[in-house]
Amino acid sequence: MRPYVIISSTMTIDGRLASKDSYSELSCKYDKIRQHVLRSEVDAIMIGANTARIDNPSLTLKYVKGTNPIRVIVTGNGHLDQNLRIFSVPPLTIIYTKNENPQLENLTKNQVKIRKFLNICNILEDLYENFSVKKVMVEGGGKLNWSLIKENCVDEIRLTISPRIFGSGVSVFDGEGFSGHLSPSFKLKEAYICQCKEEIVLTYIKR
């Protein structure tokens, strides 16, 4: 068993999460509120190591009331700065890594758990079975989004399209890609223009 998985991303017209110089401030105030409402409705928020390093988020609730979800960081090599904001505020943070890094052990004093994993499916199963996580919000980055899509582990995709164009940078699904006839297809559930009148909000669900 695994949790229900929702990818939530704000991207440019050309499908980028961030520019070549790591600029990623794309959301209007209404989009930020939507993100935090979704955070309040899930049991865990998952991000990749690059998102943790570059954006340095706390992944706690703002704008809405509720219980802060568990934070999950996925890292292949286990290299994470111990001074990241996510490690200095509650609640629980779980680091999933393929490689042991003795430096990470210092973080276990600060409501941080270290877990080994083989693939993304292992992580979802572990969250479901050992941490009672029934719904996960994935906030990127592109490599993590791709890993989940590749392994057919995504149930819903929520996208906000910003009016910017970057031309290069981090793709919302950043991987080797599918052959055309093998590419997954999601069903459009909802589409509307944001209150800011500049962004388009889309929701897709698994067929």
Output the CATH code of domain 4-206.
3.40.430.10
- Please, are residues 94 and 131 in contact by the beta-carbon 8 Å criterion? yes
Relative to beta strand 156-161, strand 200-206 is: antiparallel
User: Quick count: other Cβ atoms within 10 Å of Cβ 103?
Assistant: 11
Joined together, the tokens standing for residue 46 give 């998952």
Instruction: Provide the whole-model pTM.
Output: 0.95
Domain boundary assignment for the chain: 4-206
Helices 120-131, 142-150: inter-axial angle, 10-degree rounding: 90
Measured distance CA(2)–CA(128) in Å, rounded:
5
| pLDDT tens for the chain, residues 1 to 207 | 999 999 999 999 999 999 999 999 999 999 999 999 999 999 999 999 999 999 999 999 999 999 999 999 999 888 898 889 999 889 999 999 988 777 787 787 778 999 999 899 999 999 999 999 999 999 989 999 999 999 999 999 999 999 999 999 999 999 999 999 889 999 999 999 999 999 999 999 999
- Where would I find the H helices in the chain? 29-41, 49-55, 120-131, 142-150
